[in-house]
Structure 1
Amino acid sequence: MTNLSFSDLTFSWPDGTPVFDGLDAVLGPGHLGLVGSNGEGKSTLLRLIAGELLPARGSVTVSGRLGYLRQDLGLGDGQRVDEVLGIADTRKALHRIESGIAQDTDFDIVGGQWDVEESAVALLGRLGLHYLADSTEQLDRKLETLSGGETVLLGLVAQLLRDPDVLLLDEPTNNLDHVARQRLYAVVGQFSGTVLTVSHDRELLDRMTSIVELRQGELRLFGGNFSEYERIIEAEQEAARAAIRDARSDVRKQSRELVDARIKLDRRLRYGQKMWDTKREPKIVMNERKRQAQVSAGKLRNNHIDKVDTAKEQLQQAQELLRDDREIRVELPDTRLYPGQDVIDLDEVQLACGPTVRLRVSGPERIALTGRNGIGKTTLLHGIAEAPPKVAWRMLPQRLDVFDERLSVFENVAAAAPHASAERIRAQLARFLFRGTDADVAASALSGGERLRAALAMLLLADPAPKLLLLDEPTNNLDLPSLVHLTQALASFEGALIVVSHDPRFLDDIGVTRRAELTAGGLVETLVR
């Protein structure tokens, strides 16, 4: 039974920021989706499992062979396909043996992998990379001839060729079109070992058998897929909200009873003082009554104070169960476009990748730019930017490489909006959830979701305010809360959008009005009702 186990796992970043402190957990076999907010440490946990990072204390145990598809594949354009697949040396040894010029070590290099080329092209074909599967000669192709989505699939093939028992996947559907996603779902679904995947792709997460939530440095296992996980969490949150209402009511009740008790005690004290002043009873009797009243008052007061403290403690415990549901709320009136206002007039532009396109955009249209991997969608976005558009515009690239990494979030936004006051920038950054010292964190230290929010802040708060946004796969590397944040920010944007995305639900959520599919023959446009 393949599993992953963590014993006293402790890890902090070099600046002292803790990620895990004594994590103990066992993850059994199955297909597991790892979810949690950006910055919780999902990718860090995968890197610890893979041995890319070493814990300060404790251990990670993997039963069986491990395959790891990183979020950032770290591949260079000059690499060949067989080098990415890790079979280059084996192929060379095979070819020398077949040519009759084998070296002594070639048979050791090949081992039992006599069909390694055939296995590789078969896997490439299963994942839809048909032109790479045409012949074994295609394994010599250079990486720069592949699109971002094809590179992701190639990276998955490289891991599957290792014949792993445990497969770690970090955002495996990034840059994949609909067809490629379906093929990946099928291949992952047929994998017989343990899968642990970090993804914002809800359809992929709904194909998992269990969900593992990473929250505040601890792992919690939920049986069932992501939809079932959402139902459980929502039920827990509703119970927490009800508990908070009850606890608040109890705090008010106990506080009122404490006030009433104090009023009664004050009345008794006044009565006792009056009796003392008028000397209506013997002194020894009055002293005893005074002593008893003080004891009784102390007990009564302490009893009510204890009840108030208990009620407040229960309220705090209930509030801790309620999750942070912070939302991005921004007002961007300067981004407004009016119906009929000219935005783009692209006429018969020949793209380097082949198609000739025409595109006209007017007013606050929201256009989904779709098409298969490698057809040239990113190239078209750059072509639109170079046209240039007739209004102020900004582009959000796939890699979110819009920052000066040495500067803080605040300093990057200030550079994009030089005429804005520091107070206004910080107020706006707070609306993007960068509050207080969070705005002073260096761009290089941001997590994926934080980079997205910071990049959106740079784009949307820029001077002049953009009236057109070009977004290239903006949902890549996002956890689900960050995906909600992105949707919220775009809902406040009143200009035009052209979005490259393969996430149909996201496109529906942002209110796409037109779809433009890029094909070998140009753009095929359809209205969205």
Structure 2
Amino acid sequence: MPNADNGFNAPGSSVTCSGLSFRWPDGTAVFDQLSLTIGRGRTGLVGANGSGKSTLLGLLAGRLRPSQGSVTVGGRLAHLPQDITLDTALRVEEALGIAERRRALRAIEAGEVSDEHFETVGDDWDVEERALATLGSLGLAEAGLDRTVGELSGGETVLLRLAALLLERPDVLLLDEPTNNLDLFARRRLHEAVDSWRSGVLVVVSHDRELLERVDRIAELRSGSVTSYGGGWSAYQEALAAQQEAAGRTLRAAESDVRRQKRELEETQIKVARRRRNSRKMDAQRRAPRIVAGERKRSAQESAGRLRGVQEDRLHQARERREEAAEAVRNDEEIRVDLPRTAVPAGRTVLTLRELRPRYGRLREAELQVRGPERVALVGRNGAGKTTLLRTLAGQLEPLSGHAEVSVPLRFLPQRLDVLDEELSIAANVARVAPGVTDNQIRSQLARFLFKGARAEQLAGTLSGGERLRAALAAMLLASPPPQLLMLDEPTNNLDMAGVRQLTSALASYEGALLVAAHDLGFLESVGITRWLFVGEELQETGIDEVRDLLADAGATDTGSD
């Protein structure tokens, strides 16, 4: 059975939160008196988008300050956040933080015996060998130490930053959605790194089920408290299913008890009314003195009141038990969208590429025509050029050569979800792109995206990754004119399992053409992809089985910006 709230109680624990409270500047509470201890080993931190997973990691890493309580970390801590930005002009050695030690080693090898050089090196005489070995273990052997960050793809940049953290030999390592932007080959490298972790505490926030299978325990963050479950993702799902089955039985029993108590209260009220009528009738027949009749009436009323009070108390208690049981039953809401104006006739040409050569990536020439409501997946290794192709189609990048023509209204949702104004509310962001829509219509539609009531007024800058995607998707789909071609770049990044289901539900209602770049093949299958395009030196039309083989191939390492 899970241990609620107090965490993991493992010996040698080195991360402790005591009475931790945190509020955003607008007053939104995330945690209130949260206490937990995270022990040695690998912990997968899961929870609904907006539950506070990234916020908790930020508090543990010292990037955020709690409004109350404390965080104690034993040993050196390293943190890999969701959004990683590295100066593209940096050399790999600088991104790894070993440039000064390498220079000092070169100087010593050249005969310079300055104390400063020896102090710089310290005991780290094998730093270069360790760096190359770490890069190799993460599939970055060909990156070397002297290339620039700008020559690496987004996924390779994530692995490079992880390599830098591993070189620090931390006692506590915090990873926030580390598989975002990683292709299948790169994900496997990261999985291997997690498998081999033996250094202390590893906490990973992720929606990657295969990664979560590799942890020692799952910690679920829900309603401001943490519950731990032994084992990986499958064990957690089994425990949760058993919990929910028991919760469902308890709720059904509680609802049955409420109905029974209501019937008994109604029967009691009928009995009391019948007794009152009979008592009045008997008093009238006996012609009892008024004082005697009054005394009988008061006694009957008191007795009836006590009986009715007992039944009302029982009904109240039954309702409280029902409410308590209902809270234990989970009800993940689904997005509901009605978008008839996005429909594209089957014969209409949506997109045409002729001899297109994008500015970055491996793609040398692209020929493509999309007609009607086709659903096209762009898949390929990190650095192949999927993002570059989408940005070119969206008009954000000029191609080196060739021609791209989009014949219908287009909306593009980039990886970074930077389409929202951080200082505006969700509703105001939608109003910006849909000026002809009334406020009531906007709020009605936002409710379908699960931003109900006051939630529509939440500032975009305070949203979690999953909430931000939902808000950005709402703004795009409710825009005027409505998009008949929707382009998405890694849309499942930062989404929990419920969020992926919600996104899938929203796209099921979308009737336009869809062009999606993603590494999550399960998600792509769930949204009904009709064409699979593998991005290499050309666009290769293929099938899902061939895609898996191509992505898993650990052959030549791709380079270049994605």
Would the TM-score normalized by the shorter structure come out above 0.5? yes
In 1, are the aligned partners of 2:434 and 2:479 still within 8 Å (CA)?
Answer: yes
Distance 2:24 2:254 in 1: 38
Post-superposition Cα deviations, 1:177-221, rounded to whole Å, max 9, x if no partner, equal: 010111110111111132210011111112222100111211110
Higher mean C-alpha displacement, 381-390 vs 407-416: 381-390
Post-superposition Cα deviations, 1:448-480, rounded to whole Å, max 9, x if no partner, equal: 111101110111111111111111111112222
Gaps of 5+ in 1: 134-138
Give the letter for the 2:182 counterpart.
L
Distance 2:126 2:366 in 1: 44
In 1, are the aligned partners of 2:92 and 2:147 still within 8 Å (CA)?
Answer: yes
Which of 541, 552, 556 aligns to 1:525? It is: 541
How much does 1:351 deviate? 2.1
In 2, are the aligned partners of 1:121 and 1:132 still within 8 Å (CA)?
Answer: no
Give the letter for the 2:539 counterpart.
L
Distance 2:369 2:125 in 1: 55
TM-score (norm 1): 0.95
In 2, are the aligned partners of 1:90 and 1:110 still within 8 Å (CA)?
Answer: yes
In 1, are the aligned partners of 2:213 and 2:232 still within 8 Å (CA)?
Answer: yes
Distance 1:78 1:315 in 2: 61
Equivalent residues in 2 for 1:286-305, closer than 5 Å: 286-305=293-312
Q: Which residue of 1 aligns with 2:550?
A: none
Which of 11, 16, 20 aligns to 2:27? It is: 16
SS of structure 1 residue aligned to 2:93? helix
Residue 191 (structure 2) pairs with residue 182 (structure 1): no
Distance 2:48 2:222 in 1: 8
SS of structure 2 residue aligned to 1:53? coil
In 2, are the aligned partners of 1:2 and 1:165 still within 8 Å (CA)?
Answer: no
Post-superposition Cα deviations, 1:53-93, rounded to whole Å, max 9, x if no partner, equal: 23233222223332211112242223222222111221222
Change (3 A) 1:371 1:528: closer
Equivalent residues in 2 for 1:314-325, closer than 5 Å: 314-325=321-332
Higher mean C-alpha displacement, 117-126 vs 377-386: 377-386
Distance 1:275 1:154 in 2: 94
Distance 2:510 2:337 in 1: 9
Q: Which residue of 2 aligns with 1:385?
A: 394
Q: Which residue of 1 aligns with 2:500?
A: 483
Distance 1:259 1:439 in 2: 43
In 2, are the aligned partners of 1:40 and 1:214 still within 8 Å (CA)?
Answer: yes
Higher mean C-alpha displacement, 277-286 vs 63-72: 277-286
How much does 1:287 deviate? 4.7
Q: Which residue of 1 aligns with 2:365?
A: 356
In 2, are the aligned partners of 1:150 and 1:373 still within 8 Å (CA)?
Answer: yes
How much does 1:235 deviate? 2.5
In 1, are the aligned partners of 2:342 and 2:512 still within 8 Å (CA)?
Answer: yes
Residue 104 (structure 2) pairs with residue 93 (structure 1): yes
Residue 448 (structure 2) pairs with residue 431 (structure 1): yes
Give the letter for the 2:463 counterpart.
L
Q: Which residue of 2 aligns with 1:443?
A: 460
Q: Which residue of 1 aligns with 2:80?
A: 69
In 2, are the aligned partners of 1:512 and 1:528 still within 8 Å (CA)?
Answer: no
SS of structure 2 residue aligned to 1:11? strand
SS of structure 2 residue aligned to 1:211? strand
How much does 1:99 deviate? 2.6
Distance 1:344 1:284 in 2: 95
In 2, are the aligned partners of 1:370 and 1:517 still within 8 Å (CA)?
Answer: yes
SS of structure 2 residue aligned to 1:227? helix
Q: Which residue of 2 aligns with 1:469?
A: 486
Distance 1:15 1:441 in 2: 9
Equivalent residues in 2 for 1:193-212, closer than 5 Å: 193=199, 194-212=201-219
How much does 1:130 deviate? 2.5
Give the letter for the 2:358 counterpart.
L
Distance 1:377 1:287 in 2: 90
How much does 1:377 deviate? 0.9
Distance 2:421 2:75 in 1: 42
Q: Which residue of 2 aligns with 1:136?
A: none
SS of structure 1 residue aligned to 2:75? coil
SS of structure 2 residue aligned to 1:310? helix
Distance 1:495 1:404 in 2: 26
Post-superposition Cα deviations, 1:320-344, rounded to whole Å, max 9, x if no partner, equal: 1122411101111111123232111
Q: Which residue of 1 aligns with 2:5?
A: none
Equivalent residues in 2 for 1:30-69, closer than 5 Å: 30-69=41-80
Q: Which residue of 2 aligns with 1:372?
A: 381
Which of 188, 192, 197 aligns to 1:191? It is: 197
Q: Which residue of 1 aligns with 2:277?
A: 270
Distance 1:215 1:528 in 2: 36
Q: Which residue of 2 aligns with 1:255?
A: 262
Equivalent residues in 2 for 1:223-234, closer than 5 Å: 223-234=230-241
Change (3 A) 1:471 1:148: same
Which of 450, 455, 462 aligns to 2:472? It is: 455
Distance 1:484 1:508 in 2: 12
Residue 318 (structure 2) pairs with residue 307 (structure 1): no
Which of 162, 165, 174 aligns to 1:168? It is: 174
In 1, are the aligned partners of 2:13 and 2:37 still within 8 Å (CA)?
Answer: no
TM-score (norm 2): 0.89
Give the letter for the 2:446 counterpart.
L
Change (3 A) 1:94 1:442: same
Q: Which residue of 1 aligns with 2:153?
A: 147
Distance 2:327 2:84 in 1: 38
Q: Which residue of 2 aligns with 1:245?
A: 252
- Aligned positions, number: 523
SS of structure 2 residue aligned to 1:73? coil
Distance 1:115 1:431 in 2: 57
Gaps of 5+ in 2: 1-11, 396-403, 546-562
How much does 1:239 deviate? 2.5
Residue 27 (structure 2) pairs with residue 27 (structure 1): no
Distance 2:123 2:39 in 1: 31
Q: Which residue of 1 aligns with 2:559?
A: none
Distance 1:169 1:498 in 2: 30
Distance 2:289 2:496 in 1: 78
In 1, are the aligned partners of 2:413 and 2:487 still within 8 Å (CA)?
Answer: yes
In 1, are the aligned partners of 2:101 and 2:121 still within 8 Å (CA)?
Answer: yes
In 2, are the aligned partners of 1:513 and 1:528 still within 8 Å (CA)?
Answer: no
How much does 1:172 deviate? 0.5
Q: Which residue of 1 aligns with 2:337?
A: 330
Which of 128, 134, 157 aligns to 2:163? It is: 157
How much does 1:285 deviate? 5.3
RMSD of Structure 2 on Structure 1 (CA): 1.8
Identity over aligned pairs, percent: 53
Distance 1:8 1:62 in 2: 15
Residue 225 (structure 2) pairs with residue 218 (structure 1): yes
Residue 127 (structure 2) pairs with residue 120 (structure 1): no
In 2, are the aligned partners of 1:515 and 1:526 still within 8 Å (CA)?
Answer: yes
Distance 2:414 2:208 in 1: 19
How much does 1:12 deviate? 2.2
How much does 1:403 deviate? 1.5
In 2, are the aligned partners of 1:330 and 1:492 still within 8 Å (CA)?
Answer: yes
Post-superposition Cα deviations, 1:381-400, rounded to whole Å, max 9, x if no partner, equal: 12333423111111000000
In 2, are the aligned partners of 1:346 and 1:384 still within 8 Å (CA)?
Answer: no
SS of structure 1 residue aligned to 2:143? coil
Change (3 A) 1:256 1:502: same
